[in-house]
Structure 1
Amino acid sequence: MSDLFDTRTMRYLLAVADLGSMTAAAAHLGVAQPALSQALRRVEDALGARLFERSRRGAVLNSTGLAVIDDVRASMALAENAERNAKAIAAGKTGRLHIGFVTHAVYDALPAALKLLHARFPGIQVVLSEMGNADLMQALAEGRIDLAMLHTPVALQGRVRQKLVRRDPLVAVLPAGYALPGDGLATLADLERLGLVWFPEAQLPTLRAGIAGAFSRAGLAMRVVQEANRSLTVLSCVAAGLGASLLPQSAEVLQHRGVRFAPLSDGERLPHFELSVLWQASGRATIASQLADLL
């Protein structure tokens, strides 16, 4: 439709066409009749054609008006639908939220977030993508996801906000048949002996450096015998006897066959395993920022 047909003008046209009277249309719309008549006259003058046949009995669409009224009605419906959608999105009642997450988030942070979304924003369409830490940071920077659940610390890029939602101690993950003393505690020496199944350095560089420092201070070496980029892959490698690992205590809920979890008697120097949510900063509240506030 031409720029002449803004939403106000379309409402005027439809009201006169449906009610067959300028007087009735003005009363229905709550506007003065002269203002209504002038607005429609401006459109007709700009088009170079009359849309209504006017008489004492009212105003009836002529052949030109009949030819365009269906288009006007369709355009008005689209405009009203767009307005409803915009208001619903602004109110957080509808829209789309793309969440990227690491495996660790599956244990409890992601279910908690989905429960909150369903309760607070029932009209939101949620898209879920599991990725590694580095991939999540890139996806957030490029705007491919709205919210990232990942391991921190990380180097923040651009206008990104961060909130820590979980901080777990690290525990040993050992092959199920590995013998431990009566207290059931593992040591860093056990992990050095077996070798570590661990995430690639590029994925969690700060955490890996912190673990290496803890081994060094204990007079031991962090010996990585197998790299794996997902927690479930780490567990599978440990179950296969390829080595041991260190995972957050919350990973025990996985109850993976062939592995056993054990606290460390000398793990006080190990860094904690952090999970945070990150989202792009904005001048207004977004679904991502509102969800982060709730977590």
Structure 2
Amino acid sequence: MINFRLLRHLWLFLAVAEEQHFGRAARRLGMSQPPLTEQIQILEQALKSKLFVRSRRGAQLTPVGQTILPAVRKFAQQMEQLELAVREATAGQTGLLTIGAISSAMLEVLPPFLDRLRDRYPRLTISVREIDSVEALSALELGDVDLAFARVQGDLGSSIATMTMAQDKLTVALPTAHRLATRRRIKLNDLTEEPFVMFARRVSPVYFDSIVALCQGQGFSPRILHEVRSVATQVAFVSCGQGIALVPAGLRRLAPANVVLRPLHESVDVVTTAAAWHTASTNPALQLALEVLRGTPTTLKA
């Protein structure tokens, strides 16, 4: 039997944990602070553990609170998905597809795919959430998303299938005052001593490792000065004089006036977006999406 009282207590715990303050959490929840404090105390008594350390600065999680927070967050996401599924089913929708996508895929690959999907299946409910590439596999394995659009490639295991959706040529982003900026093309081994701004490995391990392997194939390991969370941020760091970056040619449209993108002498294609899904998924909505996906052309940029 569902313990609805415990569910409410966990929602309250999550609000206090995220706000790190009982007063702010109470305002977010639309309630006064004393009842919130009382309910958290009841939860602590039920769990026989203190969850927060209270001080003038707010409320900080104890080690026990930090331990249960990820599970409570996941529970909250699942409850939101359940609520959406019930609401949409009641409204007469035929299914629910949950998509996780990196920000660049949301700008380029995802919109035309979703347009085609909605045209063919107008009563299919589609929920999109932002993820990092490193989150894609675990989100698929855990069933948090049905379909992921991320920078993934290579052997991802027997249970994960992928389809390349967009590729681009790798270029070098340089400050306009850089010694190599006037060249029409740049050889990789000309970058041996340069400080690199890299797309962080924790965000996209496969992409990061492929860039490092590319450099090592030319006889050097890149001197990494910064790791950042997006390719757009790589260009921004180059603009700030923090180094050079290897980025897809499509970033040229985002480059500020003091940054140039030069083609590599070596022609290198990189996967900028791939679709991935779990082959054992039983969600009928995923099968509908795959029908549309397989008819979607890969974007190949010059």
Q: TM-score by structure 1 length? A: 0.59
**CA–CA distance in 2 between the matches of 1:82 and 1:254?**
41
Q: Which residue of 1 aligns with 2:198?
A: 198
Contact 1:191-1:245 at 8 Å conserved across structures:
no
Structure 1 residue runs of 4 or more that deviate by more than 6 Å after TM superposition: 81-84
Correspondence 1:123-272 to 2 at 5 A = 123-157=123-157, 159-180=159-180, 182-256=182-256, 258-265=258-265, 267-268=266-267, 270=268, 272=270
**CA–CA distance in 2 between the matches of 1:258 and 1:122?**
46
**CA–CA distance in 1 between the matches of 2:194 and 2:107?**
26
**CA–CA distance in 2 between the matches of 1:217 and 1:276?**
24
Contact 1:207-1:271 at 8 Å conserved across structures:
no
SS in 2 for 1:289: helix
Contact 2:160-2:276 at 8 Å conserved across structures:
yes
SS in 2 for 1:193: coil
Contact 1:199-1:228 at 8 Å conserved across structures:
yes
Residue identity matched to 1:201: R
Q: CA RMSD in A?
A: 2.9
Q: Report how far residue 263 of structure 1 moved.
A: 0.3
Contact 1:146-1:288 at 8 Å conserved across structures:
no
Contact 1:248-1:273 at 8 Å conserved across structures:
no
SS in 1 for 2:247: strand
Q: Does 1:292 align with 2:293?
A: yes
Q: Which residue of 2 aligns with 1:108?
A: 108
Unpaired runs of 5+ in structure 1? 1-80, 90-94
1:65-124 deviations in Å (ceiling 9; x for gaps): xxxxxxxxxxxxxxxx97993xx52xxxxx333221123324521222122223223333
Unpaired runs of 5+ in structure 2? 1-87, 297-302
**CA–CA distance in 1 between the matches of 2:257 and 2:181?**
21
Contact 2:169-2:269 at 8 Å conserved across structures:
yes
Change (3 A) 1:210 1:176: same
**CA–CA distance in 2 between the matches of 1:191 and 1:290?**
44
Aligned residue pairs, count: 206
Contact 1:100-1:145 at 8 Å conserved across structures:
yes
Q: TM-score by structure 2 length? A: 0.58
Q: Which residue of 2 aligns with 1:277?
A: 275
